[in-house]
Chains A and B, each alone.
Chain A
Amino acid sequence: MAAINRRQLLAAGAGISALAVLQACSNSPGETNTGEKKVEVFSWWSGPGEGEGLEALIANFKQNNAGVDFVNAAVAGGSGTQAKQVLGDRMRNNQPPDSYQLHAGLEAADDIKAGWLEDLSSLYEANGWKSKFPAGLIDKLSISGKIYAVPVNIHRSNLMFFSPKKLAEWGISAPAKTWTEFLAQAETLKAKNVKALSVGATWTQMHLLENVLLGELGTEKYNGLWDGKTDWKGANVVAALDVFKKVLDVSVVGTDDWQPTIDKVLAGTAAYNVMGDWAAGYLQGAKALKYKDGYDVVASPGSTGVYNFLADSFTLPKNAPHKTYAEAWLKLCASPEGQDLFNPKKGSVPARLDSDKSKYTDYLGWALKEWQDSKTVVVGSLVHGVVANNSWKSEIEKAYGVFFTGKDSAKFAAAVATAYAANK
């Protein structure tokens, strides 16, 4: 079912109104204007959940900064693709908002190279934030030793969803812990005419790919893939890519977005679905399923105790017209109070380690426990912009298209390695 759902309609409506807002403020000057009591925050949070989370933050901001005009410039569509284009135009024309949303990690590299972002290291020092976030996260957020963004939420990519009742019905006692075990289970499922996994549009396939690589290579080699320490053309990487091909072979491969794809697990067409934790919000909200009963989730095979993260963060652009209030906004985003206002609504966990655990229940309770566990290893997601800059990522996507049709692991590995050398 690829018809438009209510969410997309809402998003489209919000997009149109956001455009109207942009028109209204497009003639704001690029110079710092300390006198004006206003702050403009640019994001792509307009959908259900995230939009409400943002509203809660805005309400809190208004309470503590009475008389400041808050402009919510949210541009809907495509996990920020549309917003980034609008933003790019504004930045090139020196009309920055006071703060804008960015996926944490190397996705910011282009903006930093372009000189658009203010180094926030001093803000981190002044507020003692460095000790409040996990060290692994600070490490992934830093680019050449400087931090340019304040993380608001943490999502997890390496999750495998399933229906516990269906699994029991098919005679599978526990979800697969490694990809080898997964492929063995696939044989059992095949006899019952069930596909082992459902996967959809290209980005969901790449989402699966990064987690197969993580599970097969382990955290150290996985991290090395993104900083040049692991050779893509090496035998173990190619072997992991071959495992990915085997996983695709036992999967139902569609072209839909993630919601219809995970629906196939609920319908019993497929046993598992590898997706990020926003799926938990969907299953619990739109599908009204109970955690551990209607649906269950474990770390994807081979990645127990690993948090393959992605995060949304806010930045301070250079020449932000209302810097004082922008900093007040960033402080709210980084505060335990702000993070606890936003995350339960968005369906993610707070980046801070000292947040109020009682606010997170069901899946989020488990996720927060894992996130705050000092033994958990934090690694970054490729598809969601943490470990590769935009150019390299788009080249990987391009090479993946060839890989998907030709199924040549060695050639794909070589193409990714070449693209890394050209775009690092």
Chain B
Amino acid sequence: MSNFKRRARRWAPGLLLVSPSLVLLGVFVYGFIGWNIKISVTDWKGQLETDNYVGLFWYKQLFADETFHNDIRNLLIFTVVFIGGAVIVGLLLALLMDKGVRGENVLRSIYLFPMGISFIATAIVWRWLLNSDEGEGTTGVNDILGWIGIHSDWHKADSQWAISAIALPAGWALSGYVMALFLAGLRGIPEDLREAARVDGASEFHVYWHVVRPMMLPVFMSVLVILAHISLKTFDLIYGIAPLDPRTETPAIFMYLTAFRGYFYARGAAIATLLFFAIAAVIVPYIWYSIRKERTAR
């Protein structure tokens, strides 16, 4: 008994301290995830909740639904273009910053600012920037492209890749953040290591390739995971730029439309559940990987 007491004295205060947030997380995150999964296997359609069990009915229907296929394709294109673009731009900016520029603090803030703007405000600005009207109605980026005789229809283009235009504002908003992450990673590499390589006769490219690159891998992983989960749940940006357009619809938009406009609450919950598992598939291995790394580091 006294043994238990002694041990409890060690962990009890800590547990007591985190318990409010544990309870809140338990109810408002995990509780609601569970509730959402429960709704997705019921027949709730219409204003009043019904909870007759229908199994995987809505999931099966979704997998046979052409709209859902279209949405997933759009989401994949968006994710690839958005992550690719944001990583390349972010990395480039970080490398340039790392080389040392005057007024780095100011520049860093400027690149970071777009992330501070809510996606819906970004969407409204970019809806105007990505206007595709021709002639007098031309605004935004097309105005500039017009000088060299180019006109883009952006997300309104009659192409399967139309949604990649939405990756432009998304990348604009987040590449500054990616830059900050990479920059922190670069700064974390001790200068002596690079010096040592240079003394051994490595060219600047070799220094980056053989010394900096391997040490940046963990940062790169975090960047990928952060961007991937943002991409999967992007809703406001797309809805703000082009609502109700099959060319830019993603599962998140479909979920909103079907649940709140068509009252297919169970189907909406099924889409939410699928999105949840998709995000979990990205994040869980990452968490597992970082926990294991922490353990081996200790």
Which among A81, A254, A399 is the interface contact of B261 at CB below 8 angstroms?
A81
Contact with A along B214-251 (1 / 0, CB 8 A): 00000000000000000000000000001111110100
* Chain B, interface residues (CB within 8 Å), range: 35 or more
Which among A1, A88, A254, A402 is the interface contact of B67 at CB below 8 angstroms?
A402
Residue pair B131, A1 in contact (C-beta under 8 Å)? yes
Residues of B close to A190: CB separation below 8 A = none
Residue pair B70, A394 in contact (C-beta under 8 Å)? no
Residues of B close to A2: CB separation below 8 A = 127-128, 131
- Spot the interface stretch: B30-38, B45-53, B85-93, B178-186: B45-53
The number of residues on chain A lying at the interface, defined by a beta carbon within 8 Å of a beta carbon of chain B, is: 35
Residues of A close to B247: CB separation below 8 A = 405
Residues of B close to A91: CB separation below 8 A = 47
A116 to B263, CA, bound (A): 15
Residue pair B47, A114 in contact (C-beta under 8 Å)? yes
Within 8 A of B (CB), among A357-400: 390-391, 393-395, 397-399
Given A2-B131, A3-B128, A113-B47, the answer on whether A394 and B245 have CB atoms closer than 8 Å is: no
Residue pair A391, B262 in contact (C-beta under 8 Å)? yes
Residue pair B46, A203 in contact (C-beta under 8 Å)? no
A111 at the interface (CB under 8 A from B): yes
Smallest CB gap from A88: residue in B:
B47
A88 to B49, CA, bound (A): 12
Q: Which of A81, A260, A390 has the most C-beta atoms of chain B within 10 angstroms of its own C-beta?
A: A390
B139 at the interface (CB under 8 A from A): yes
B191 at the interface (CB under 8 A from A): no
A81 to B257, CA, bound (A): 10
A184 at the interface (CB under 8 A from B): no
Residues of A close to B244: CB separation below 8 A = 201-203, 397
B13 at the interface (CB under 8 A from A): no
Residue pair B47, A394 in contact (C-beta under 8 Å)? no
B245 CB, min distance to chain A CBs, angstroms = 6
Residue pair A201, B46 in contact (C-beta under 8 Å)? no
Residue pair A110, B128 in contact (C-beta under 8 Å)? no
Residue pair B139, A255 in contact (C-beta under 8 Å)? no
Residue pair B246, A404 in contact (C-beta under 8 Å)? yes
B294 at the interface (CB under 8 A from A): no
Within 8 A of A (CB), among B258-289: 258, 260-264
A402 to B46, CA, bound (A): 24
A394 CB, min distance to chain B CBs, angstroms = 3
A402 to B68, CA, bound (A): 10
Residue pair B264, A394 in contact (C-beta under 8 Å)? yes
Residue pair B131, A113 in contact (C-beta under 8 Å)? no
Q: Which of A111, A203, A398 has the most C-beta atoms of chain B within 10 angstroms of its own C-beta?
A: A398
Task: With A92-B48, A92-B49, A405-B246 given, name 8 new contacts (CB 8 A).
Answer: A110-B47, A254-B133, A390-B261, A398-B258, A401-B67, A402-B66, A405-B70, A405-B247
Q: What are 27 A-B pairs with beta-carbon distances under 8 A? A: A1-B133, A2-B127, A2-B128, A2-B131, A81-B260, A85-B260, A88-B47, A91-B47, A92-B48, A110-B263, A111-B47, A114-B46, A116-B47, A254-B132, A255-B242, A260-B133, A260-B137, A390-B262, A391-B45, A391-B46, A394-B258, A394-B262, A394-B263, A397-B262, A398-B67, A398-B258, A399-B67
Q: Which 6 A-B pairs have the closest CB atoms?
A: A394-B262, A401-B246, A114-B47, A202-B244, A114-B48, A110-B47
